[in-house]
């Protein structure tokens, strides 16, 4: 008999190996993985009502619906960030993206949308790392192509509405060579982590390129304010990292190292994975355009994709559906509405009506289509406004609108 904890440990290993290989983790493990990460073993904490209430009290603003709905479900040291903010002390935000494909999909925007919201709520600086080097090391791609993708992805990120005066976006290939302080921190981190440790965390083996083995130091380094002297001077300021839960291994490592270097441990806000259209038992694949809603899709493509591919939790016939009702837990249209339909009362009504059978699958899909179409169209319009010059400005190392005594 394998114990539950043994099973969880096996999943942990698979998750870490999968993260390193850039593979999406099979969503049927999703619930288990979520529970796993909030257990004591990983030391992260569930985002509970008490934390949300405190968040609203400290900021004086209602929390984002993704926090209320458990889409961002776990955290590390968020209480500490709130205390910091309450005391009028500065912190900053850090997030990132591995620019693996030009066609980003709606799920890729999740960390950026929440980050933009946090930036508005707290009025703090933000650094965004584009790990073109990571994708070069992990994928079969040409270095030149990846550099172009980083800029294309930057446009989609900027289209989320980030304030140029508060935001620095950088590509590892372009930036790190220009910034000795960043490189020094990278090597400081690299000195503190042994091969044995990264093997344990990420599952690296003897035949992995040595670039992969040292990459975690590159993703760790933006967590430290001294890596960006043009923004923070010499100030030592804590950071908060919104990310999907699969990035946690990198930051567990970072949090181990930080005190040894005299830096703050980064705080974290973890989201669940975004499900594929085909449902919770399939993998979201970058090469299958039907597995997700692309930010390049036309309204018609969105309609067709949802109608044809969104996994349904409804019954086989209308009669049966009216009698037994649909299953919201597995129904992708409902699951997507949890992400994209902001109105709590409406969402609750949909849940009630679909579960009772009053709402049919076709009607539910129509609702989702009508929610997604304007989101994607608006994104496309915003992206059109983002010129190469604007990208260049965001990606130029410079002082932001904040000042820090050293």
Report phi then psi at 399, rounded to 5.
Answer: -75, 140
By beta carbon distance, the residue nearest ligand TRP is 96
| Of residues 162 and 334, the one with the C-beta less far from ligand TRP | 162
Min separation Cβ 352 and ligand TRP, Å: 36
| Of residues 44 and 219, the one with the C-beta less far from ligand TRP | 219
DSSP string of 292-338? S-BTT--HHHHHHHHHHHS---S-SSHHHHHHH---TTT-HHHHHHH
| Of residues 134 and 331, the one with the C-beta less far from ligand TRP | 134
Min separation Cβ 19 and ligand TRP, Å: 8
Min separation Cβ 22 and ligand TRP, Å: 7
Residue with tokens 């001294």: 226
| Of residues 243 and 267, the one with the C-beta less far from ligand TRP | 243
| Of residues 107 and 275, the one with the C-beta less far from ligand TRP | 107
Min separation Cβ 128 and ligand TRP, Å: 8
Q: Give all strands (DSSP E) within 44-154, no chain letters.
A: 45-46, 72-76, 92-97, 126-130
| Of residues 247 and 292, the one with the C-beta less far from ligand TRP | 247
Maximum Cα interatomic distance, the chain, rounded to a whole number of Å: 70
| Footprint on this chain of ligand TRP (rule: CB under 6 A) | 95-98, 111, 129, 131, 134, 219, 241, 243, 247
DSSP conformation class of 139? S
Min separation Cβ 208 and ligand TRP, Å: 16
Min separation Cβ 273 and ligand TRP, Å: 12
β-pair partners for 94: 127
Residue with tokens 């309609």: 303
First to last CA, the chain: 58
CA nearest neighbour of 19 among 204, 272, 191, 160: 204
Give the C-alpha separation, 40 to 43, whole Å.
5
């Amino acid at each position: 008999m394998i114990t539950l904890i043994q099973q969880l440990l096996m999943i942990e290993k698979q998750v870490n190996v999968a993260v390193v290989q850039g593979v999406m983790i099979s969503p049927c493990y999703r619930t288990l993985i979520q529970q796993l990460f909030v257990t004591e073993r990983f030391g992260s904490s569930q985002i509970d009502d008490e934390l949300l209430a405190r968040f609203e009290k400290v900021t004086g603003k209602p929390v984002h619906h993704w926090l209320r709905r458990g889409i961002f479900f776990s955290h590390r040291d968020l209480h500490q960030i709130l205390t910091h903010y309450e005391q009028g002390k500065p912190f900053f935000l850090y997030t990132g993206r591995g620019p693996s494909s030009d066609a980003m999909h709606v799920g890729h925007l999740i960390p950026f949308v929440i980050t933009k919201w946090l930036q508005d709520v707290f009025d703090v600086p933000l650094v965004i790392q584009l790990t073109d080097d990571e994708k070069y090391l992990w994928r079969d791609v040409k270095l030149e192509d990846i550099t172009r993708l980083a800029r294309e992805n930057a446009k989609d990120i900027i289209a989320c509405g980030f304030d140029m005066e508060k935001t620095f976006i950088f590509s590892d290939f372009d930036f790190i060579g220009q910034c000795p302080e960043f490189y020094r921190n990278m090597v400081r981190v690299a000195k503190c982590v042994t091969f044995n440790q990264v093997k344990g965390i990420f599952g690296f083996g003897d035949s992995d390129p040595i670039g992969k083995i040292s990459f975690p130091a590159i993703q760790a380094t933006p967590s430290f304010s001294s890596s960006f002297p043009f923004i923070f001077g010499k100030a030592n300021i804590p950071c908060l990292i919104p990310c999907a839960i699969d990035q946690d291994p990198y930051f567990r490592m970072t949090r181990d190292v930080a005190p040894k270097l005299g830096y703050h441990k980064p705080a974290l806000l973890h989201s669940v994975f975004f499900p594929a259209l085909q449902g919770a038992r399939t993998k979201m694949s970058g090469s299958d355009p039907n597995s997700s809603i692309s930010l390049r899709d036309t309204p018609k493509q969105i309609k067709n994709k949802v109608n044809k591919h969104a996994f349904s939790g409804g019954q086989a016939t209308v009669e049966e559906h009216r009698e037994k009702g649909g299953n919201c837990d597995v129904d992708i249209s409902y699951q997507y509405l949890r992400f994209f339909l902001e109105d709590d009362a409406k969402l609750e009504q949909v849940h009630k009506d679909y579960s009772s059978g009053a709402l049919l699958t076709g009607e539910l899909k129509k609702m989702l289509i009508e929610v997604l179409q304007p989101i994607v169209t608006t994104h496309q319009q915003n992206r059109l406004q983002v010129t190469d010059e604007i990208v260049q400005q965001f990606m130029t190392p410079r002082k932001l609108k904040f000042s820090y005594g050293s």
